[in-house]
């Protein structure tokens, strides 16, 4: 299948597929006589794997490592588990930071009395110095 078809099938943009090939994350497929890339089921499966990992927020170095590990059937799953746990820790830290942001924004909005900008508590809060 050509790049447009594999892009539609996997949900990965053609430009991104070419990037993965340049970076060595995806093995370049064979070419047709017309020099079109000819993707098969293995490349489509790899692209789906990459997209799903990226959708979960894994970094490209982690995706590369997960791909390498996925090809070693007899190897312990401990490294994959470790990568996933480390990523989950990062996600949980981001969630905590977002909750702090949400709470601060809620406080700012609750303090707004909708007068003029010169009396706006949201603007005052944003302008207040809270350190570096």
Looking at residue 115, its pLDDT comes to: 77
Q: What is the mean pLDDT of residues 13-22?
A: 97
Residue 107 has pLDDT above 60, yes or no: yes
39: its two tokens: 């993707």
What tens digit of pLDDT does each residue of 36-90 get?
Answer: 999 999 999 999 999 999 999 999 999 999 999 999 999 899 999 999 999 999 9
Looking at residue 44, its pLDDT comes to: 97
Looking at residue 130, its pLDDT comes to: 64
List the chain domain ranges: 1-74, 76-131
The band of 12, judged by pLDDT with boundaries at 50, 70 and 90, is very high
Residue 110 has pLDDT above 60, yes or no: yes
83: its two tokens: 């990568």
Looking at residue 62, its pLDDT comes to: 97
Distances (CA, A) of 72 to 80, 97, 106: 11, 37, 49
Q: 102 vs 117, which has greater pLDDT?
A: 102
Looking at residue 129, its pLDDT comes to: 66
**Is domain 1-74 in CATH 1.10.8.420, yes or no?**
no
Residue 131 has pLDDT above 60, yes or no: no
């Amino acid at each position: 299948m050509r790049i447009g078809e594999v892009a539609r099938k996997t949900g990965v943009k053609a430009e991104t597929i070419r990037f993965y090939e340049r970076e060595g994350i995806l093995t370049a497929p064979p070419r047709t006589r017309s020099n079109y890339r000819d993707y098969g089921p293995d490349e489509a499966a790899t692209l789906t794997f990459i997209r799903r990992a990226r959708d979960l927020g894994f970094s490209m170095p982690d995706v590369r490592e997960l791909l390498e590990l996925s090809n070693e059937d007899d190897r312990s799953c401990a490294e994959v588990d470790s990568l996933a746990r480390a990523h989950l820790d990062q996600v949980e830290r981001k969630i905590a930071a977002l909750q702090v942001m949400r709470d601060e924004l809620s406080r700012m909005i609750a303090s707004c009395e909708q007068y003029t900008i010169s009396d706006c508590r949201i603007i005052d809060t944003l302008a207040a110095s809270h350190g570096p």
